[in-house]
């Protein structure tokens, strides 16, 4: 047995975490410790994949999947990297962050001055979306043209911020645009190959 233990190379946590999740029908949040920043962080989230069979009973469809929090601590002993896994009873006490109870992915720092506002806003939104992330595009109230070659110019940024953009003198070989929108199309056809 000792020969087997000496030659045992260990398990790949990412590979076997998926297998364990499927067998035990659980979700896993795996946390690690960052020595450089001296804090704990969630490095891996393993979700149980529901089977494609849809003729299960109604009770099984509403089944809540349990989430297990695991802390993996890595150390080096005699030149070998050793990992130890621990079950986490209170992840808020470990990480110092408050997690959303609905999606379990968004974390908030209780020491932040806007913590209560941000936490309240997110939990209401997350509760309405049933814990699912819904991506929405937010457009600016005033539309701005996308011209990075102009907006990333330090001189133009300074002049634009101070309302003096009319003083901007373009350099040679530098193309500037004057974009305007009109309520109706003026030129429907110009040339033989262009139609609108």
Per-residue model confidence as pLDDT tens digits over 66-98: 888 888 888 887 877 777 888 888 888 888 888
Residues in the chain: 196
What is the value of pTM for the model shown? 0.53
Predicted local distance difference test score (pLDDT) of residue 55 = 42
Q: Which helix (H) or strand (E) holds 86?
A: strand 80-87
In the Cβ-directed half-sphere of 175, how many Cα atoms lie within 13 Å? 4
Q: What separation, in Å, do the N-terminal and C-terminal C-alpha atoms of the chain show?
A: 80
The yes-or-no verdict on residue 154 having pLDDT over 80 is: yes
Residue of 109, 80, 81, 111 whose CA lies nearest to 95: 109
């Amino acid at each position: 047995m000792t020969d087997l233990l000496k030659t045992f190379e260990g398990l790949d946590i990412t590979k076997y975490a998926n297998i364990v999740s499927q067998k035990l029908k659980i979700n896993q949040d795996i946390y690690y410790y960052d020595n450089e920043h001296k804090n704990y962080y969630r490095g891996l989230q393993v979700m149980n994949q529901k089977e494609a069979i849809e003729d299960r009973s109604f009770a099984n469809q509403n089944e809540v999947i349990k989430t297990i929090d695991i802390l993996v601590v890595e150390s080096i002993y005699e030149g070998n990297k050793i990992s130890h896994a621990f079950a986490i009873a209170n992840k808020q006490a470990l990480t110092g962050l408050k997690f959303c109870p609905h999606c379990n992915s968004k974390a908030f720092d209780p020491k932040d001055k806007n913590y209560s506002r941000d936490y309240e806003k997110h939990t209401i939104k997350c509760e309405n979306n049933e814990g699912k992330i819904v991506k929405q595009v937010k457009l600016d109230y005033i539309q701005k043209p996308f011209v990075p070659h102009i907006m990333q110019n330090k001189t133009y940024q300074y002049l634009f911020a101070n309302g003096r953009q009319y003083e901007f003198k373009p350099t040679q070989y530098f193309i500037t645009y004057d974009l305007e929108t009109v309520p109706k199309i003026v030129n429907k056809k110009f040339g033989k190959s262009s139609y609108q």
